[in-house]
């Protein structure tokens, strides 16, 4: 099942633990981003790392629980547990360092089901494979090192082939309406993707003059 994870750049240990426990984490920037990225079946739950700004994280946790009616697990450094007594907006907490077995138990006790074993999380195009459960990419069986946003852009394009998308449409679909980086951000990421796909496959992403890009 799909689990919203805050912040957008969660720790590697949390991501690995969720995937290893059978969940599909989707990083979000804020509550609005959770709405844009919400799966058709809805969020199964949310996991929030307190990190360097615990007050902000707790606020996001509470809004996720209220607006999407989902159970929320927070991940907190054990030195900060005393501060949780007066906090609200979450259903359970997990102490760091993260133990995968404990995470599985705590998330399941919140009523979050694991991903069905029959689900195929892999998107394919030619010899490209994108594993949406692990956020890994492969070309002809070889791993491709992509940043999170490079992966999200490529995933979007693979999921919507043969259609022309303007830079503004791509920006809103992949980065979100509240992203202020400008449409040039799309051009930069397309250029990086083409370089990582290699000369033979770079033509998969076609520039449509005065409009935007098409994949396939």
Give domain limits for the chain: 2-109, 122-215
One fold for both 2-109 and 122-215? no
Fold adopted by 122-215: Arc Repressor Mutant, subunit A (1.10.10)
The whole-number pLDDT of residue 115 equals 44
* DSSP result, the chain: -EEEEESSS--HHHHHHHHHTT-EEEE-SSHHHHHHH--TT---EEEEE-TT-HHHHHHHHHHHHHHH---EEEEEEGGGGGGGGG--S-SEEEEESP-HHHHHHHHHHTTPPPPPTT---EEEETTEEEETTTTEEEETTEEE---HHHHHHHHHHHHSTT-EEEHHHHIIIII-TT--S-THHHHHHHHHHHHHH-TTTGGGEEEETTTEEEE-
The whole-number pLDDT of residue 159 equals 87
Q: What is the pLDDT along the chain (216 residues), one digit of tens a residue?
A: 789 999 988 898 898 888 888 888 889 999 998 988 887 677 889 999 998 888 899 999 999 999 988 999 999 987 777 667 778 889 999 999 999 889 988 888 887 755 444 456 888 899 999 998 888 999 999 999 999 889 999 999 998 888 888 888 888 888 875 555 667 889 999 999 999 999 999 999 999 988 899 998
For domain 2-109, the CATH class is: alpha beta
pTM passes above 0.75: no
């Amino acid at each position: 099942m799909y689990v919203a994870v805050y912040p957008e750049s969660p720790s590697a240990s949390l991501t690995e633990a969720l995937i290893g426990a059978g969940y599909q984490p989707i990083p979000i920037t804020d509550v609005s981003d959770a709405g844009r990225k919400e799966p058709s079946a809805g969020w199964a739950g949310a996991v929030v790392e307190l990190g360097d700004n615990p007050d902000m994280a707790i606020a996001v946790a509470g809004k996720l629980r209220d607006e999407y009616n989902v159970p929320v697990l927070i991940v907190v450094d054990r030195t900060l547990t005393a501060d949780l007594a007066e906090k609200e907006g979450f259903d359970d907490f997990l102490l760091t360092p993260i133990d995968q077995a404990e995470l599985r138990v705590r998330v399941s006790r919140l009523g979050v089901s694991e991903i069905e074993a029959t689900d195929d999380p892999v998107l394919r195009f030619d010899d490209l494979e994108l594993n949406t459960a692990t956020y890994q990419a492969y070309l002809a069986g070889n791993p491709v090192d992509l940043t999170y946003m490079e992966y999200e852009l490529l995933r979007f394009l693979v999921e919507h082939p043969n259609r022309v998308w303007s830079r503004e449409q791509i920006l809103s679909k992949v980065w979100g309406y509240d992203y202020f980086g400008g449409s040039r951000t799309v051009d930069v990421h397309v250029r990086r993707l083409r370089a990582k796909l290699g000369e033979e496959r770079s033509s998969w992403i076609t520039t449509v003059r005065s409009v935007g890009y098409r994949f396939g």
